Structures are given as C-alpha cells and as structure tokens.
Copies of this chain bind each other. A is one copy, B any other.
Amino acid sequence: MIYFDNGATSYPKPVNVLSNTVNALKNYSFNSGRGGYAASVHTAEKIYSVREKIGAMFGFEPQNIAFTMNCTQAVNMAIKGSVKPGDHVIISALEHNAVWRVVNHLKNDGIIQFDVADYSFDAAETALNFERLIRKNTSLIVCMAASNVFGVVFPIEKIGEIAKQHNIRFIVDAAQGAGVIPIDAKKNHIDILCAPGHKCLFGNMGTGFIAVKEGTYLNTLIDGGTGSESTNPNQPDFFPDRLEAGTLNNSGILSLGAGIDFINSKGMEHIYQHELAVTDCLFNGLSKNSDAVLYCPKPEKNKSVPIISFNYKDYSSEKTAALLAEHNIAVRAGLHCSPLAHRFFNTLERGTVRLCPSIFTTRRDCEFFLKSLKKI
C-alpha cells in the first residue's frame, strides 16, 4: 500500500515506536503516581519523561502537559474550559469540526457568540482579519496551526501577538502542525496548545495532549480520581492532575515519547524538508495533468504543511479515491471533517481528494501515484 493518509494518522511509525510500545505494555503498564511499588514509580518516571520531551519541543513546563485520547478531546477541554457566559470567541475560516462543532455547541447553549475570521494567502491580512472581529467581550481566539485540507499554514505568531495585545486567550489546534513546523508557545504567544500524538509526532492512535501556559485557569471538562487531594470534592488546582482524571494510556504516551525521539534524532527541519520535497513532486505532477484540479498553493517552506487537495476529471472525490484504492493507493476523500474550509475554498459540494505524504514517502511512491492517476 502507498499511504497518503498521514493527515488522518501517520503510517508507518518509526521502528522505535513499536519497540517502545511493546516495552511499555510489558514493563510500564502500572498506575503511575498512585502506587508505591517500584513498577508504579518507574512508570511515573517514564510518563514524566514524555511530558519533558513535549515541553521542550513546544515551550511549556513539563507538568503543564496533560495527556488525552486525541486532539479533539484536548480542544474540547481547552475551549469549554476557557469560556464563561457572555463571552465572544473568534475562530478561523478553515477550522476543523473539532473546533467548529465545539463553538456551535456553546453558542446553541447560549453561552458564547462567535465569529469566523477569513483566511488570506497574505499573512498580515489573515492576522488583521482576526483583529477586525475583536469586540469588548472577546475572550478567546482559536486557530489551527495549518489546514488539514489545504495545507496552508496560519501566521500563528502574528495572531498570537494580536491576542496578547488585546489580552485575549489564544488556543492553537496543532493537529496538522505539531512535529512538522516549529511551534513555540513563548514566541507565538500561545496560551493553550492542543495536538494529536499519532499524526506528525508518530505516536500510536489514542494519544494527544493539551499544553497549558503557567498561570492559565481552566475549568474542567472531565472530573474524577487523580490520586491527589483525594478528599477534595473538586479537581486539584495544579497541572497535570487538574486535567488528567482516571487512568492514562501508558503505552500510547510512551509511544509518543518514542515518536518525539525519532523526530529529534532526524531533525524536525530535515523531516519537513523531505516532506515538502515529496509534496512538491506531487504538486508538480498534478499541475502537469490537465485532468486534475488543484486547490492549494505550491508547497512552500513555512507556508505549507505536506498536504495537497485536488479533484480529478468530473469524478466525485470519493470515486477518485476508490479508483486509486484499486491501485493500492490510500488517500482520503470528502470533507475531511472541515466543512468551513471547503466553504471558504468553494469545494463544499464535491469535497476533495487529499494527499498527505510523510518522511517515509519516497519520490517513487509519488511517481507511482501520478502514473496510476492517469490510468483511472
């Protein structure tokens, strides 16, 4: 199988991810921080080491990293934990349903109002689009690091600056950026970062995290046992316990740590360069195929993540994907859970075929895809 669905979940994983997972299942599958026996203590140390790795990569204190089942859960905890009745929220025009459905739910419940800031290929214009929507009661800006459909990168630093100037909390959904493009909470003025562990960070499915700037107050979405302050009827005030109720996915968390080790050993910049190169190869090939319609700009460093959206002939996106599947090529078709983005790019009716290569994608894979496409 030639796999271009890394935007959903990365495959294959680096070899150290599987070995670390198996090791975790055998040796670190104990309740960390709750037991006093050696295996529990060693497990807690291992889990903490992954907080350190994430903290170092994204500019957070290790204890302010809380693990979740996926990025969606983290985004829900971040947004729902941040707003109060009467607040106004701004989101981008390309947000995933993990954000759009959340703010819709809060709006339907009469808690918030929200506005949608247009995207522009001009970074300053995009940032201005957010600033123009700010009201007196705007308490929150939520923006993705990069579009999961069109691959365009948001000017997070500029949007973060605006948020900071106006004393507005800034949440970044890095579902498609974390592990590929540099994201730094301090430099980009990010208050809360949400990310999946199983996409560009190469951990197993079932992993994600929410990272919180020191001093950020969050109401809790999920309450329960933390092994700390057990007689307290409320969640503890301190992180990560405040955001981590119940048993963690230890093997998943340690797989995520192994994924970060892989990125650090290869170099994020090197991985990004490779992925941009193969994305460029796909883009160029599609550009030369008169039956293909491309919806994203030519891949460019710091402006794109390795994602391409296109359609073919007069086929529905699903038909193109099904025909490619017959050539053993895995792509995803449809709306990619992002109707807002498709509305903005005028592809809502048809959806798109999405190509997401990874560090493991070769030029040969790209050429095979381009040749196969001509046969469908």
Q: Which residues of B contact A331 (CB under 8 A)?
A: 35, 37
**A321 to chain B: closest CB distance in Å?**
5
Q: Which residues of B contact A70 (CB under 8 A)?
A: 246-248
Distance of A234 Cα from B108 Cα, bound (Å): 9
Q: Which A245-277 residues sit within 8 Å CB-CB of chain B?
A: 245-252
A-side interface residues, number (CB < 8 Å) = 83
Name A76's contact: one of B96, B102, B105, B223 (CB within 8 Å): B223
Name A251's contact: one of B1, B73, B205, B337 (CB within 8 Å): B205
| A292 within 8 A of partner (CB) | no
Q: Which residues of B contact A225 (CB under 8 A)?
A: 72, 96-98, 101, 337-338
Contact A69 B76 (CB under 8 A): no
| A285 within 8 A of partner (CB) | no
A98-B35 contact, Cβ under 8 Å, with A223-B76, A252-B206: no
Contact A34 B332 (CB under 8 A): yes
The stretch that binds B, out of A18-26, A86-94, A121-129, A156-164, is A18-26
Contact A233 B21 (CB under 8 A): no
Quick one: closest B residue to A205, CB to CB? B250
A224-B75 contact, Cβ under 8 Å, with A230-B339, A330-B35: yes
> How many chain copies does the complex carry?
2
Distance of A1 Cα from B246 Cα, bound (Å): 24
| A5 within 8 A of partner (CB) | yes
| A348 within 8 A of partner (CB) | yes
Q: Which residues of B contact A221 (CB under 8 A)?
A: 76, 221-222
Contact A230 B73 (CB under 8 A): no
| A64 within 8 A of partner (CB) | no
Distance of A338 Cα from B226 Cα, bound (Å): 11
| A133 within 8 A of partner (CB) | no
| A40 within 8 A of partner (CB) | yes
Q: Which residues of B contact A75 (CB under 8 A)?
A: 224
Contact A98 B322 (CB under 8 A): no
Contact A101 B335 (CB under 8 A): no
| A39 within 8 A of partner (CB) | yes
**A316 to chain B: closest CB distance in Å?**
11
Q: Which residues of B contact A26 (CB under 8 A)?
A: 18
| A189 within 8 A of partner (CB) | no
Q: Which residues of B contact A332 (CB under 8 A)?
A: 31, 34-36
Q: List 16 A-B contacts (CB under 8 A).
A: A8-B247, A25-B204, A29-B205, A37-B329, A70-B246, A71-B246, A71-B247, A76-B223, A101-B224, A101-B225, A101-B233, A205-B248, A224-B337, A230-B337, A231-B348, A249-B252
